[in-house]
Each structure stands twice: as C-alpha cells, then as structure tokens.
Amino acid sequence: MKMLKDKIVFISGASSGIGKACAELFAQAGAKLILCARSVEKVQEIGNALKAQYQTDTLALQLDVQDRKAVDKVVDDLPLQWKKIDILVNNAGLARGLDKLHQGDVADWEAMIDTNVKGLLYLTRKIVPQMLEHKLNGHVINIGSTAGILAYPGGTVYCATKAAVKFISDGLRMDVVDTPIRVTNIQPGMVETNFSVIRFHGDQQKADNVYDGIEPLTADDIADIVVYAASAPAHVQICEVTVTPTHQATGGIVHKEKK
Ligand code: 8X3
C-alpha cells in the first residue's frame, strides 16, 4: 500500500456504497481524497471523518456528473495542491427500473445513460489530459458490472450502459497504451448497497427480495479490489476484474437458498 501514500484519488459517487467504501480504504492507505457527490453534506461528513481517523487530506465537492459544465468547472477550480489527480475512480452510477424495454420509463433510461456513460466520459475526458500533462502514472478505474457482459430481462438499458463502460475502458486502454496510464474495469455482480433501493425507486421490500437467500458482495469487497488494482506496481495493469457472489454465475443465474 506504500504505492498509494499521498496519491490524489478522485472518487465520483463517494457519498455511499462502493464509492464510500473506496474512500475509506484509500484513506487507510494514506491517499488524499477528492470526494464528489450530488450531496455535498454527505461527502463533507465522510471526508471529515476520514481526515480525523487517518490524518489524510480530503476535499469534498458537490458534483452531478450528468452536468458536463459542472464537471469541467469542478476540475478547473481545484485548488493548486489538488490538481495532480493520480487515480480517477469512476464510480457514480445507478440502475433505474426493471421493466421490459417496450414498457420502460424514458426518464429512467436518461438518468442511467447520462450518469453511467456520459458522466463517466465527461470526467475521463477532463482528467486524463491532466494526468498526461503532469506526467503522472495515472490510473482510471471504472466501476462496470456483470450486467455489461450479459444482459438480463428487465435490465436492457442498464446492461447497455455497463457494456458501454466495458468498451470505453477497453478503447481508452488502447488510446493510452503509449503512456503510463492504466485503465481498469471492475465488473461486480450483486453487491448489497442502496443499488436496488434506487433501482426500485425507494421500494425497500423489493430491494430486499433481490438479496434474499443469497449472500451478496459488500461494498468493501469491491473497494478491496479497487485498491488492489491501484496499488499494483506501475508496470502491472489489471485490465478487468469480474467478481460475483459465489452463488451468482451471471446477472441472471443465481442460486438462492430457500428458507
Ligand atoms: C449490478 C449487478 O447483477 O445487480 O451492477 O445487475 S446486477
């Protein structure tokens, strides 16, 4: 973990779930954190707690990655000591709805496409040139999904956005192959966070049913892999990691214990 001491890590969607867990593990490893989320109060609170616990610097910023101008402004306005971002964790993302495509809600699709695909692109487009300009051993870590490998019923648009994350990761890796920048795509299966609550528009019962009878992954399980990839030696690029609970084979093939 010595590799991560004083590195500057930018995490989108850092107010909960995988983003928050990554913040904690990076702080533990001595990295400095730029924590972004739509709710600045939440990232402020997380940042202050990590600062107190691990004596590391944190900067909390309000950001909705769907807003391209806001992405540009947040990065342009970074204080001088925060400008050299070593690691970008493109974590902000969501699933909305589990409807058949022909019955789906267009607003749900737009939220997923604008956050999972366009938001990730905006941040990457803005930050990678700066990594190059500052001659950093930069690292872009995208949070993809097993949904990006194989579609499942009702997940069409969500799966398509995560397939886009896979191909953006693969394409970017080719585009920066002649630079020190590394690109990693982490593809988790079922992780119990507020993911399903958001998918089902706040219906806790429906969300709980998703994880009933199976031990899902936790946000910490994923953060462990993110930090592992980030702390590999500079000549080692972890391109892709697919990780599922033991009783999940693909998005749609899950073994549940009957109660
Ligand atoms: C989340 C994985 O299987 O719940 O990205 O769609 S799944």
Q: Whose CA is nearest to atom 5 of ligand 1?
A: 145
pLDDT at 3: 85
Measure the CA–CA gap between 26 and 215, rounded to whole angstroms. Answer: 25
Our CA angle for 162, 136, 84, nearest 5°, is 85
- In the annotation, is 211 catalytic? no
Residues with CB under 6 A from ligand 1: 145-147, 155, 189-190, 251
Q: Which of 126, 158, 166, 211 is catalytic?
A: 158
Residue with tokens 């004083």: 6
**Cα 184 to ligand 1 centroid, rounded to whole Å:** 18
- Residue 207 tokens, joined: 């969300």
**Cα 78 to ligand 1 centroid, rounded to whole Å:** 33
pLDDT at 162: 98
Measure the CA–CA gap between 88 and 78, rounded to whole angstroms. Answer: 14
Q: Where are the domains of the chain?
A: 2-190+218-243
Distances (CA, A) of 6 to 10, 134, 179: 13, 16, 22
pLDDT at 259: 65
Q: Which of 7, 162, 166, 211 is catalytic?
A: 162
pLDDT at 199: 94
Contact assessment for residue 151 and residue 251, using Cβ atoms and an 8 Å cutoff: yes
- In the annotation, is 162 catalytic? yes
Show the DSSP H helices in the chain as ranges. 17-28, 40-54, 68-76, 106-112, 120-133, 156-175, 195-199, 204-210, 219-230
Q: Whose CA is nearest to atom 2 of ligand 1?
A: 189
Other Cβ atoms within 10 Å of 254 Cβ, number: 19
Measure the CA–CA gap between 193 and 79, rounded to whole angstroms. Answer: 32
**Cα 241 to ligand 1 centroid, rounded to whole Å:** 14
Block means of pLDDT (10 residues each) for the chain, 259 residues, are: 89 98 98 97 98 97 98 98 98 96 97 98 98 97 97 96 98 98 98 92 91 95 98 97 96 86
CATH number, domain 2-190+218-243: 3.40.50.720
Strand partners, 142: 90, 185
pLDDT at 22: 98
Show the DSSP H helices in 134-218 as ranges. 156-175, 195-199, 204-210
Strand partners, 62: 37
* pTM exceeding the 0.95 threshold for the entire prediction: yes
